[in-house]
Amino acid sequence: MDTRRLRLLLALSRLGSMRAVADAFSLTTSTVSQQLAALAKETDTQLIEPDGRRVRLTPAGQRLADHAVTILAAVDAARLDLDPDAEPAGTLRVGGFATGIRVSLLPILHDLADTHPNVDVVISEHEPIEAFELLVNDDLDLALTYEYDLAPASPDAVLESVALWSTPWGLGVPADDPNTVAGLLSYSERSWIVNSRNTADEDAVRTLASLAGFTPHIAHQIDSLDLVEDLIFSGYGVGLLPTTRPARDGVKVLPLSDPHVVLTAFAFTRRGRSTWPPLRLVLDRLRPADHRPLPLKSWPRPTAAGA
């Protein structure tokens, strides 16, 4: 059904005459009559009937006019929603890894609530693999993800991204370890700890080990950096940790070199969606001013479990 014809039908239900509708829309009564006849043909239903020298809506026509109120309101809302210059409003679904949410999203939410109270942000925690799937399936509007330079992500082609910040990672070992730099071959016989919900961590470890000439023994899969540190402290293995995040007592992080390991955080969206005003609002506040990876000076240490 042509929404312009629905508007004429709705106007007829309210104004009561073809002449009044024609005047309201700057049309001729003949044009209004032709458009309503076309609408009746589209719906295969008689919508108007004679009423003396005038016309009135049939019961079916009145029901369609009632539907038109909802239909036209939805169309108007959709047009406003698609207008990149419209005032941001609506629910923005954000999913991402815990540190990305802490570092990039939480600092802007308080100000966002003051400046744009009609934007509601709903947050869920997901590792990149999970977030990519949800974004592709349109169950998220924005995904905060990460990748290691030694284990690039492979997102779906329908997604696009902007880099947010980067930080180096090193090798977490017990504090009494005599090494000051991570010579990985020294740890070829040790058990290794990797992320339980994302393969990038394990891919980076296996690449590092391969370059050093050994195959790592992946013994533990852990989602929480705090728990990774606890296992390292207790002698259950070694694992990658961010160098900018203060480690717990009894654990130290050795710098890696040749190659370095760098984690970069990204904001991912579906292609063509970034002009939606609520999403554009958050993206503009998330990204660095120069749109390049930004060195992270302070990796927050959470009080609760989570990476």
CATH number at residue 120: 3.40.190.10
Query: Which pTM was predicted?
Result: 0.69
* 307 domain-assigned: no
pLDDT digits (tens, 9 = 90+) for 193-235: 999 888 999 999 999 999 999 999 999 999 899 999 999 999 9
Are 99 and 61 part of one and the same domain? no
Are 285 and 153 part of one and the same domain? yes
Q: What pLDDT is recorded for position 288?
A: 61
Are 209 and 239 part of one and the same domain? yes
Among residues 81, 99, 133, which one ends one of the domains? Answer: 81
Question: In the chain, which stretches have pLDDT less than 70?
Answer: 80-82, 84, 287-307
Q: What pLDDT is recorded for position 14?
A: 87
* CATH of residue 64: 1.10.10.10
* 25 domain-assigned: yes
Are 160 and 188 part of one and the same domain? no
* 306 domain-assigned: no
* 305 domain-assigned: no
DSSP secondary structure of the chain: --HHHHHHHHHHHHH-SHHHHHHHHT--HHHHHHHHHHHHHHHTS--EEEETTEEEE-HHHHHHHHHHHHHHHHHHHHHHHH-TTSPP-EEEEEEE-HHHIIIIIHHHHHHHHHH-TTEEEEEEE--HHHHHHHHHTTS-SEEEEEEETTB-----TTEEEEEEEEEEEEEEEETT-S-SS--GGGGTTSEEEE-SS-HHHHHHHHHHHHHHT---EEEEE-S-HHHHHHHHHTTS-EEEEETTSPPPTTEEEEPP-SS-EEEEEEEEEETT-TTSHHHHHHHHHHS-TTSS-EE-S-----SSS--
Are 158 and 268 part of one and the same domain? yes
* 302 domain-assigned: no
Are 185 and 64 part of one and the same domain? no
Among residues 36, 64, 81, which one ends one of the domains? Answer: 81
Are 174 and 246 part of one and the same domain? yes
Q: What pLDDT is recorded for position 303?
A: 40
* 282 domain-assigned: yes
Are 37 and 94 part of one and the same domain? no
Q: What pLDDT is recorded for position 289?
A: 45
Are 189 and 114 part of one and the same domain? no
State which residues form the domain around 224: 168-261
* 43 domain-assigned: yes
Number of domains in the chain: 3
Are 130 and 178 part of one and the same domain? no
Q: What pLDDT is recorded for position 101?
A: 94
Q: What pLDDT is recorded for position 80?
A: 67
Are 286 and 272 part of one and the same domain? yes
* 301 domain-assigned: no
Are 173 and 256 part of one and the same domain? yes
Among residues 55, 81, 107, which one ends one of the domains? Answer: 81
